[in-house]
Amino acid sequence: MSISRLGPVRLPTAELHLHIEGTLEPELIFALALRNGITLPYRDVSALREKYKFTDLQSFLTLYYSNMAVLLTEQDFEDMTRAYLVRAGAAGVRHAEIFVDPQAHLIRGVSLETCINGVTRGLADSEARYGLTTSLIAAFLRDRAAGEALDVLEQLIAMDAPIIGIGLDSAEVGHPPSKFIAVFARAHDAGLKCVAHAGEEGGPEYIWEALDLLGVARIDHGIRAIEDEMLVERLLTEQIPLTVCPLSNVRLRTVDTLADHPLPGMLARGLNVSVHSDDPSYFGGYLDDNMAQLTSTFALDSSQLAELAANSVRSAFLPRERSGTLLAEIDNWRMAQPRS
């Protein structure tokens, strides 16, 4: 059945794998370029959208970083953040833990304060205005030097940046988690939560390293875990969260089609898997779009959808009271759905 038949109220869920820079829609890119006096190398919005055909992760990252050139002021970062919150609220997101890539802006000459303050301003009243609680995670670019990441982390700590944790993203292959042991050790010492992208293009060994060497609490992506049965057993036993992004995986060619995606099998095995949108502007959909296409492709029922949503809430860095409230909302949603 289609997700539209599952009732008029959106499934409440948490979004844990969302890059705020990946929410820059082409229309906003052009608006910010106009405001900042930037000439884009695209004729119009349609010409820019034509570029959103990726062959692999690197082809996406090239466009992704290029489009960030329009982000120059705190207001730019705030506007981008608020645009995401409007869309996320409409998608049923009730809590979001958002990645920001400070290095991607620092190397362009944009200060750390501009980036962090702008996003933070956008998040400040998220619950009152958009109906969702939020927190911020600083993600480091694994294809840059670990020493640079450590320096940026020290700056974030020194400025008392309002982040709850750190992550690791960007081009995976050739940049294993082991490169960042010192960065994550410092984050642990500072009391920050730790997560890392692993097992998207990189193999299961990257997931092992992220768990054993970086001490992460969540694996972002993790779809290649199924290639290693011993790893699957560990993920099952420890119920380590895997924040999976199906439409992203298809667009970046890590799976050929959505029908080939391992998510249903991972869910059936009892893995702690949940669904997220990654970089929704670039990959064809926000969280509700991911859920709708999964439902259509795999005929997921309301109980399976509720399980995915509950996994997202249980995997979030939330106080017990807030987590309990959201889990109750998900259960109420499930009970309200018509029986198929």
Residues that constitute the known binding site: 17, 19, 197, 278-279
Largest distance between two CA atoms of the chain: 55
Query: At 78, phi and psi to the nearest 5?
Result: -65, -45
State how far the Cα of 187 lies from the Cα of 217, in Å rounded to an integer: 13
Which helix (H) or strand (E) segment holds residue 133: the answer is strand 133-141
Burial class of residue 99, CB neighbours in 10 A (0-12, 13-18, 19+): buried
* 200 a catalytic residue: yes
Query: Residues 172, 200, 201, 209: which is the catalytic one?
Result: 200
What six digits make up the tokens of 288? 């509700």
What six digits make up the tokens of 191? 């009391």
212 DSSP 8-state letter: H
Task: Identify the three-state secondary structure at position 14.
Answer: strand
Annotated binding-site residue numbers for substrate: 279
* Site of tokens 């009391």: 191
The CA radius of gyration of the chain, in Å to the nearest whole number, is 19
CA distances from 43 to 29, 47, 105, 209 (A): 13, 6, 25, 44
Annotated binding-site residue numbers for Zn(2+): 17, 19, 197, 278
What six digits make up the tokens of 171? 């081009």
CA distances from 180 to 140, 172, 186 (A): 9, 13, 10
Active site (catalytic) residues: 200
